[in-house]
Structure 1
């Protein structure tokens, strides 16, 4: 199941209205942010959801957008990109989302670029 890896903690999910509240924007603006790849979303139980870890201090995680572009260029869907971001990555030592939140975007993108 997407976002549920045995080796990592379950992902906390936000619906679009919850995400809009978390970043202080309208749902319409959040949809544009999704289109602009500031976030990745998947349908779970028929509802579009975004991992809560993509929000830091009320803003989109700044290093996420470029990383999502790299993953999409490698052929990943949003579903697959989210799975990869939250799965332990041996070459990084932690799940890529943790490394991004630690400011290690170059390392994460270097590994992501090899996945094509």
Structure 2
């Protein structure tokens, strides 16, 4: 990501990112980042919307990575293109 590890810990602590544990190691899904290895600007917002709606981290990850034929594709992929606002709208509706 090009930032010091403490900044990554801050982003995780502020719940602007979610880490996945694989073989005992915490990892951030690459799809949460833009081309420049910066956090995609919509990721913290969609995490906040779903979290405020009662979703825990596992449920947020499931929601983001589960394909949705009506988008089409996974919501997390939609955050990188013209579907980002639609994904945000759906995240807000899912939390109601």
Bin of the TM-score, shorter chain as denominator length:
0.7 to 0.9
Q: CA deviation at 1:94?
A: 1.6
Alignment RMSD (CA, Å):
1.5
Q: Which residue of 2 aligns with 1:27?
A: 5
Question: With structure 1 as the length reference, what TM-score do the two structures score?
Answer: 0.72
For residues 69 and 24 of structure 2, the distance between their equivalents in structure 1, rounded to whole angstroms, comes to 33
Q: Which residue of 2 aligns with 1:16?
A: none
Q: Which residue of 2 aligns with 1:81?
A: 60
Structure showing the higher strand proportion among its residues = 1
Q: Which residue of 1 aligns with 2:20?
A: 42
User: For residues 29-79 of structure 1, what are the alpha-carbon distances to aligned partners after superposition, in whole Å with 9 as ceiling and x for unaligned?
Assistant: 110011223311122222211111111122001111111001101211222
2:33 equivalent to 1:55: yes
Query: How many aligned residue pairs are there?
Result: 94
Q: CA deviation at 1:81?
A: 1.0
60-69 or 103-112: which moved more?
103-112
- Residues 2 and 37, structure 2, Cα contact 8 Å, conserved in 1: yes
**Which blocks of at least 5 consecutive residues in structure 1 are unaligned?**
1-22
